[in-house]
Structure 1
């Protein structure tokens, strides 16, 4: 652990997001053991992922953004509000311009521009959309360490990394197993499943570098990542977890995910 703490923050962000990517790949690797996934279990896992993202948005991103804004002499609610709305608007734009298809949806319900891309690519793009704000959140969390501002701590950044990694496991499985059931080989299904997580190291390094070199935007960047994650939860994760009528299971997953992420952040941060 000591060697990690002595790394520059951008390298820390890269290593942390490589870890979250690795957990996505582990989840995708379940395709080598299972060909199908119970829909109730899937909805519970989606709910869990949503709960983690909601908790991380407040405890790991918005709360530190407010504390940092105060430390920098800003009006505390301004960066949190502006950044949060900009994050949601950015993901809303990406959602419109990026063709994608959600788990278990028929091809005619693909979102975004019309495209000739295959089902497997569209599924990967849907999970990639989820992973952009997750990688950004981890990167910004580590980039904040260089600012030396109250509210930015390495244990909090590690807690955020663990929480994001935890909910990436079911996301990897949620891509690879349906693809296997659709007829792809186990190897190809795994390849596409892990591919959806590769955007996290890219977003993580960009986020860390941005706030490292332009520190005054840090509270805005933290809130931006929070807004992007909440958009994904509200637009994609929660509706998808309730599509088959497993509302109670999805809600239980959300509650559990929120509680675990909150405990991680408060316990480690």
Structure 2
């Protein structure tokens, strides 16, 4: 199955591969959001466990799929120490999301309206929740697109199978993300249809970011190590600033940590076994 997907990706090229892969991750988000048609809410214990799982996948992907290939390729590409592009890109990615976090009005999932972040606004809670998850999904789409672009250029440490593994891992953790938007909205009185709409809409940015990432590294090959570590830094910032705090606001913190470990383990296995 993986061999077939790899051959297909090579045939259609990195941009189309990135678009298809990130469209798949978007559709899995929509699948998670669709549960709102059957349930009004999910137990907080399950919710926190799934959020922890999401964080584990993102942390593992940041190292195994992004930082490690960045360092490996830098050893042959640049005369200066191989950690320089990884460090610069990683910090730049974190600062990029930090800037968006300060500018974009948004509200984290388990937070009250009074705890909204970014520019002050009177926007409805549903809009702020949508923007929070959208902010979360930008680095995920970039990561998939950048890795497909890197693999197409023969980038040392990157491969089509690794890019596919990353897309699968992000798709798995996107399922609870869809729930994370739609369920709270439904619980707050929003209709099932509108709750689903907002849930799936939160990931529509992933195909856009994926295509941008793939095109960027194809036409600017020297930025490949920086681009990979940039995506890693962006994802780490999201996990530490958003995902983890959301799992620590109730009595199910241990379950959230176990979910985190499970997500990290699954993503590590996917990347090592398939990449």
TM-score (norm 1): 0.98
Of the three residues 19, 30, 33, the one matched with 2:24 is: 19
2:210 alignment partner in structure 1: 204
1:59 alignment partner in structure 2: 64
Distance in 2, matches of 1:148 and 1:130, equals: 29
Aligned-pair distance for 1:105? 1.7
Distance in 2, matches of 1:67 and 1:104, equals: 39
Distance in 2, matches of 1:97 and 1:196, equals: 18
Deviation readout 1:148-179 (Å, 9 max, x if unpaired):
12212100000000000000000000100111
Decide which moves more: 235-244 or 1-10: 1-10
Distance in 2, matches of 1:149 and 1:186, equals: 45
Distance in 1, matches of 2:92 and 2:179, equals: 30
1:77 alignment partner in structure 2: 83
Distance in 2, matches of 1:104 and 1:253, equals: 17
RMSD: 0.9
2:269 alignment partner in structure 1: 263
Runs of 4+ in structure 1 over 2 Å off = 1-5
| 1:50–1:238 CA contact under 8 A, matched in 2 | yes
State yes or no: 1:98 paired with 2:111.
no
Decide which moves more: 143-152 or 233-242: 143-152
Distance in 2, matches of 1:3 and 1:80, equals: 30
Distance in 2, matches of 1:69 and 1:30, equals: 44
| 1:28–1:169 CA contact under 8 A, matched in 2 | yes
Aligned-pair distance for 1:4? 3.2
TM-score (norm 2): 0.96
Count of residue pairs brought into register by the alignment: 269
Distance in 2, matches of 1:83 and 1:9, equals: 22
Distance in 2, matches of 1:185 and 1:247, equals: 30
2:151 alignment partner in structure 1: 145
Of the three residues 143, 152, 173, the one matched with 1:167 is: 173
Of the three residues 253, 258, 275, the one matched with 1:252 is: 258
Instruction: Give structure 2 stretches of 5+ with no counterpart.
Output: none
1:40 alignment partner in structure 2: 45
Distance in 1, matches of 2:178 and 2:40, equals: 14
Of the three residues 188, 203, 218, the one matched with 1:182 is: 188
